[in-house]
Structure 1
């Protein structure tokens, strides 16, 4: 009597249990790692990222200032025995005020620039969305006009402006020496107030911005103030420089 050979088991009979075991292992590892929390973080807030970056920059600037102070103290301690150190310290002290490395007070002018609260629908027919925000060239125009009008010292937001300071905008935010600022933007300069205001009134680029203020509602406000500037405390390193021709 012929016998029927036993049926061969399908490969799926082996694959399915193995896959189930692997899935169970992965679930167990995920539960252990997450400890009940979501392994997929929620949407990252850009404002939060910027704020955290600002905090880090402030901390690094504070650490750098502490190290510079320590170096100065060590240099002063050794200066009496070194004519070269004394001469270098004397030269540094002489140029410190012009370099923005000492506090300064005086009469001056404070200019505030801010984005418009209007919408594109409120603009004249020839207007566009760019009219509604403050741009890098607007801030730079005010800075240049104040320097050209005889400003002796300047602050942009809460930072001293020195020869290596660069005004840059990313979107509608201002990037200055590693820190990010949102409008309104303030530029404060020490100098003869009447001369500074006259220089702002006569500057063509500032006039263009003020025309936009009338048409689109961006803010332009200039007023006389008693200014009190701290010494610049950021980095003085030059990355690129060449003699002026």
Structure 2
């Protein structure tokens, strides 16, 4: 019996030692020679604590900025009055700048390309340029209406403002990045008689009317007692701007 126990110990001890050596070698390979539970390894609780500290710091900055804005734009009768004056002035400028819809009596001018006759033909001596509305024709009408004191002008479905630039590309119109085909409808609110007189007196409009008679271009003037013009809705992009005069507040 004693001899059997000695035999078990003689073979068991080397097996246990060999297993322990294999385990240590595997741990060394996994850790790359470093302590797999070193003290500088990030822990979830540390990440949570750092994130919370960051949130608290940003919240404090936000509250400080909000307090600064309140001190500049409110909180005292003086700042409240200044803010009210700026808001009222902004509303007035928006109306004058064409940003708001407007309604009133006015004139509708329509320009159109020449149409074929009953036999489907154009005048024999007409060139392609004689049969279409050109950019200078549109600009002539717009300038005449503005010179007559028009309070607001709309072309097609867009309001014409100081930065509007109608451009003709072939027989189509490009306005604020959108294209239109004739007829071109220009609606203006203002003194109807004054606008009609300005159109009659315009040399370029008179020249266009000659082409109307000669080559069949389209032209009409229709007074209206109640025109409705939309407000300008496209983004305003100004690279350089400065006040034209005192703001008045």
Query: TM-score interval w.r.t. the shorter chain?
Result: 0.5 to 0.7
1:97 equivalent in alignment to 2:95: yes
Question: Which ranges in structure 1 are unaligned for 5 or more consecutive residues?
Answer: 1-77
Map Cα deviations across residues 7-63 of structure 1 (whole Å, 9 max, x no partner): xxxxxxxxxxxxxxxxxxxxxxxxxxxxxxxxxxxxxxxxxxxxxxxxxxxxxxxxx
Normalising by structure 2, what TM-score? 0.61
TM-superposed CA distance for 1:90, in Å, is 2.2
TM-score for both structures, normalised by structure 1: 0.62
| Contact 1:118 1:216 (C-alpha < 8 Å) held by counterparts | no
Query: Which runs of 5 or more residues in structure 2 are unaligned?
Result: 1-71, 245-249
CA positional deviation for 1:224 = 0.3
Residues 95 and 241 from structure 1, CA distance in 2 versus in 1: closer, same or farther, beyond 3 angstroms? closer
User: Offset at 1:240?
Assistant: 5.2
Q: Distance in 2 between matches of 1:110 and 1:117?
A: 21
Displacement of 1:79 in angstroms is 6.4
Shift of 1:121: 6.8
Whether 2:230 is the aligned partner of 1:222: answer no
2:209 is paired with a residue of what secondary structure?
helix
Structure 2 match to 1:143:
142
Change (3 A) 1:96 1:171: same
CA distance in 1 between partners of 2:91 and 2:242 (Å): 24
RMSD over equivalenced CA pairs, Å: 2.7
1:140 deviates by: 0.8
Larger radius of gyration: 2
Cα distance in structure 2, aligned partners of 1:162 and 1:221:
23
- Is residue 228 of structure 2 the alignment partner of residue 233 of structure 1? no
